[in-house]
Amino acid sequence: MKPSAEHLPARPAEAHALAVARTLPASRIVCTTAGRGQAAYALATERPDAAVSAWFLDLHPYNASRAMWSPAPSNLTAACVADMPPGPYDLAVVPLAKDGEAELSRDILQAALVNLAIGGHLVAGIDNPRDKWLREQLAETGETVRVRPAEGAAAKARSDTIAYVVQKTRAPAKIRDFSCEVVFRDRGNLLTAFTRPGVFAHRRIDPGARHLLGAVDVAAGTRVLDIGCGSGCVALGIAAREPSVRVHALDSSARAVDCTRRGIEKNSLANVTVDLEAEGHVPEPGSWDLALANPPYYSDFRLAELFVESARLALTPGGTLLVVTKQPSWYLENLPRMWTNVFREEVKTYHVIEAVRA
């Protein structure tokens, strides 16, 4: 049976933040999530007269949440976009992870405060009962920070979490820009990419992307896919080499797509397109010549498997897949089942895997 929002419990930090949020009045609510949008769903269900927005940065949890909500309350909207849907809100619910990216957490907290109405409340929870970092971040806003224990069913997880409430009394004195320009050179071209918190890789060009660019030579007219484009450095580099080359980039991160689009505009590249895509669907499947990928290492290679299968469906027979990785074993074990001419080249601490679609 498919899990539903009523039966799949929220992760501890989100459950704690939700329990605190239930004690606060609000008719305009925005929620982030540590799982599948359970806080947003619960508040929308319990407050049918409130407008509740769920903000996602990645299509995978966005799609999973909407599937679990089905049917969703009519007052609940979901958005997978690079920036928080604009307020004003009376309540913002932000669960965070102790091992999350610090700069992304700061960015999300700032967005929540900026979009709150004066008098509105920010509830932030974290899965660290000895937390000092989050409390310090909230205190830097100049607002009063109150510690709130969980109540009701969520109290069982209280020993593993802590939550805070901040009431906005004034507009923030300073708004920080967390985005960054990254200038890099590829084959004589000086290019500018943009990065933001939550985008791979923020404030730098990833060494794996460097090695992938170094491994690629493209002929005129080649049709190239960049699967999981991140900030778009690989797509920009390949497109800048030859104007007749067509490059299509895709990523499940709304911010990655936003950064890649900004890079396309900044470098005036008319031969690059980018889509927000989580399932690997591409225009004109079966017609692409080259697929490039730098898959993430987590999820026990499930995402790597999705990248490889997306490339197989997208490529023309005889098309080539190039993957850069630090963990080549999975590819060397699995690619020969459906690919030919599987080859590995070691480049420093990385491995470039090449395979041809049969």
131 and 100 Cβ atoms separated by less than 8 Å: no
Domains of the chain, residue spans: 12-167, 180-357
pLDDT in tens, 23-36: 999 999 999 999 99
Q: Please compute, for residue 75, the number of CA atoms within 13 A of its CA located in the half-sphere on the CB side.
A: 17
Q: What are 304's two structure tokens?
A: 């790597």
Per DSSP, the residues of 168-235 read --S--S------EEEEEEETTEEEEEEE-TTSTTTTS--HHHHHHHHH----TT-EEEEES-TTSHHH
Series of mean pLDDT values for 10-residue runs along the chain (358 residues): 67 96 97 97 98 98 95 97 98 97 98 98 97 97 92 61 97 95 97 97 95 96 98 98 98 98 98 96 96 87 95 98 96 97 95 97
Assign a CATH topology to domain 12-167. Answer: Rossmann fold (3.40.50)
Report the pLDDT value the prediction gives residue 1, as an integer from 0 to 100: 42
H/E run at residue 3: none
pLDDT at 260: 98
Asked whether this chain's domains 12-167 and 180-357 adopt the same fold, the reply is yes
Give domain 180-357's CATH number out of 3.40.30.10, 3.40.50.2300, 3.40.50.300, 3.40.50.150.
Answer: 3.40.50.150
- Nearest-angstrom CA–CA distance, 301 and 299: 5
What pLDDT does residue 84 have? 98
Q: What are 184-243's pLDDT values in tens digits?
A: 999 999 999 999 999 999 999 999 999 999 999 999 999 999 999 999 999 999 999 999
